[in-house]
């Protein structure tokens, strides 16, 4: 019997719906070709619904989503909604409530994609970042006093639990082993200044790492990591880090792999549901114009296939994307692809069919 999945689809705001439509096109083609089945559960959460009803993401939806095999998310954020509301009440709420404690972000430069790094190519830019996704500065601990006065105090604390850090590290070691390349895991921290938080991270890193004698342990401060990602990206195999540093270095990573048009990520609970998204955001100025690059969303769908265990489909979609880049596209930037959003999706489907 065919395997059947229940996949939640949350296209969201801006260009989210356009890129998710292309991702679903590719998903359908991959399913037909490799023989699995799925039902889609559609959700309309995002700016439109919030502006109309005041509702962001109700707890009943969270409970329903817990039962899904995966969630496919477009983008959250809209210029008519003050920053922070939708991000916190939808995106971060999903990550926290569903305990999606891993944010996996591959930094892979595909042949034919332009990188701003002179003298670096696909051989040199090929690593993954494992970002802790539920703690750190994102936990929301802190507060303020005397707001709006000259004596105002604002405190925002980084929460690092042994349990939260350890499960993230364990995933990173396992992932590094599965990836089976250089077998090197780099901890990205700031042990010279954040002497409480990264002391915990560093001790846990070596304690957990002792169980993985096949994985080489490496450490670098976050500022140095930024430097090396530009100067010597080939040094990295898998990087593991906390929520805030992971947020920052993966935007840098997205740039060296060719931009937001191609960068995808997965929010994963290894014991539960997972949510896959293009990491670029809602890009409102490009919405509705058929100019946004859907490859990041298509690659998020590809990661979803890999996560579901549909490795044949995942390999095929990646190959079809690589062929589309090499044979059909002029660039990765919105409006500079030489093709429209829908046409890129069509090309991926056509290459898939020809594999």
Q: Which residues bind ligand IPM (CB under 6 A)?
A: 87, 91-92, 247, 279
Q: Which is nearer to ligand IPM, 92 or 292 (CB)?
A: 92
Task: Quote the CA–CA distance of 214 and 228 in Å, as a whole number.
Answer: 24
Give 268's strand partners: 102, 274
- In whole angstroms, the minimum distance from the beta carbon of 197 to ligand IPM comes to 18
Tell me the C-alpha distance between 229 and 236, whole Å: 8
> Least CB distance from residue 60 to Mn ion, whole Å?
28
What's the min distance (Å) between Cβ of 77 and ligand IPM?
A: 6
CB nearer to ligand IPM: give 94 or 332.
Answer: 94
* DSSP SS3 for 61: helix
- Return the number of the residue (249 or 295) whose C-beta is nearest ligand IPM: 249
Instruction: Residue 312: name its binding partner from ligand IPM, Mn ion, none (Cβ under 5 to 8 Å by kind).
Output: none
Q: How far apart are CA 178 and CA 132, in angstroms?
A: 19
- Sheet containing 102-108: order of strands: 37-42, 4-12, 70-75, 274-278, 264-268, 102-108, 126-132, 238-241, 184-189, 216-221
CA 204 to CA 162: how far, in whole Å?
Answer: 8
- Could you give the dihedral angle defined by the CA atoms of residues 188, 191, 197 and 201, in that order, rounded to the nearest 10 degrees? 50
Nearer to ligand IPM, 103 or 324 (CB): 103
Segment (H or E) for 247? helix 243-256
> Minimum CB separation from Mn ion for residue 124, in Å?
23
Distance CA(339)–CA(347), nearest Å, equals 9
Among 355, 290, 295, CA closest to 325: 295
As a whole number of angstroms, the distance between CA 212 and CA 206 comes to 10
- CA-based angle 74:76:82, to the nearest 5? 165
**Residue with nearest beta carbon to ligand IPM:** 87
Choose the one of ligand IPM, Mn ion, none that binds residue 91, judging by a C-beta under 5 to 8 angstroms depending on kind.
Answer: ligand IPM
Name which of Mn ion, ligand IPM, none residue 18 binds, using a CB cut-off of 5 to 8 Å depending on partner kind. none
**87 contacts which partner out of Mn ion, ligand IPM, none, CB within 5 to 8 A by kind?**
ligand IPM
Q: What is the smallest separation between the CB atom of 277 and ligand IPM, expressed in angstroms?
A: 7
Query: In terms of CB distance, is 247 or 318 closer to Mn ion?
Result: 247
CB of 250 to ligand IPM, least distance (A): 6
* Least distance from ligand IPM to the Cβ atom of residue 48, Å: 18
Of 13 and 247, the one with the shorter C-beta distance to ligand IPM is: 247
> 135 vs 247, which CB is nearer to Mn ion?
247
Q: Minimum CB separation from Mn ion for residue 304, in Å?
A: 19
Half-sphere exposure of 66 (CA within 13 A, CB side): 11
User: In angstroms, what is the minimal distance from the CB of 247 to ligand IPM?
Assistant: 5
Binding-site ranges for Mn ion (CB under 5 A): 247
> 117 with 230: CB under 8 angstroms?
yes
What residue number has its CB nearest to Mn ion?
A: 247
Do 341 and 293 meet the contact criterion of CB atoms below 8 Å apart?
A: yes
Nearer to Mn ion, 160 or 243 (CB): 243
Q: Cβ distance 131 to 194 under 8 Å?
A: no
Q: What are phi and psi of 212, to 5 degrees?
A: -125, 70
Residue 93 has which token pair? 């709420």
- By beta-carbon proximity to ligand IPM, the closer residue of 222 and 279 is 279
């Amino acid at each position: 019997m065919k395997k059947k999945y229940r996949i939640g689809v949350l296209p969201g705001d801006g260009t989210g719906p356009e890129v998710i439509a292309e991702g679903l096109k590719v998903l359908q083609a991959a399913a037909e070709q490799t023989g699995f089945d799925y039902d889609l559960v559609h959700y309309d959460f995002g700016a439109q619904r919030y502006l109309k009803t005041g509702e962001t993401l109700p707890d009943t939806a969270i409970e329903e989503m817990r039962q899904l095999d995966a969630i496919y998310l477009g983008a959250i954020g809209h210029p008519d909604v003050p920053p922070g509301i939708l991000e916190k009440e939808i995106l971060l709420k999903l990550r926290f409530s569903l305990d999606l404690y891993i944010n996996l972000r591959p930094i892979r430069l595909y042949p034919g994609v332009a990188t701003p790094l002179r003298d670096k190519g696909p051989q040199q830019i090929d690593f993954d970042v494992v970002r802790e996704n539920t703690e750190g500065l994102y936990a929301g601990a802190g507060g303020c006093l005397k707001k709006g006065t000259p004596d105002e105090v604002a405190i925002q604390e980084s929460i690092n639990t042994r349990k939260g850090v350890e499960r993230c590290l364990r995933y990173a070691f396992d992932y590094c082993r599965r990836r089976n390349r250089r077998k090197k895991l780099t901890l990205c921290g700031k042990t010279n200044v954040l002497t409480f938080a990264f002391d915990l991270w560093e001790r846990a890193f070596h304690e957990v790492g002792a169980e993985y004698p096949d994985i080489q342990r490496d450490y670098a401060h976050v500022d140095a990591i930024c430097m090396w990602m530009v100067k010597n990206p080939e040094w990295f195999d898998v990087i593991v880090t906390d929520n805030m540093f992971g947020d920052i270095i993966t935007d840098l990573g997205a740039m060296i792999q060719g931009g937001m048009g191609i960068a995808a990520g997965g929010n994963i609970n290894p014991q539960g549901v997972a949510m896959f998204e293009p990491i670029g955001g809602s890009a409102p100025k490009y919405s509705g114009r058929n100019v946004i690059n859907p490859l990041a969303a298509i690659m998020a769908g590809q990661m979803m296939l890999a996560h579901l265990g549909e490795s044949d489909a995942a390999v095929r979609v990646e190959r079809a994307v690589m062929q589309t880049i090499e044979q059909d596209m002029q660039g990765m930037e919105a409006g500079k692809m030489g093709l429209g959003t829908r046409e890129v999706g069509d090309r991926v489907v056509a290459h898939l069919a020809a594999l």
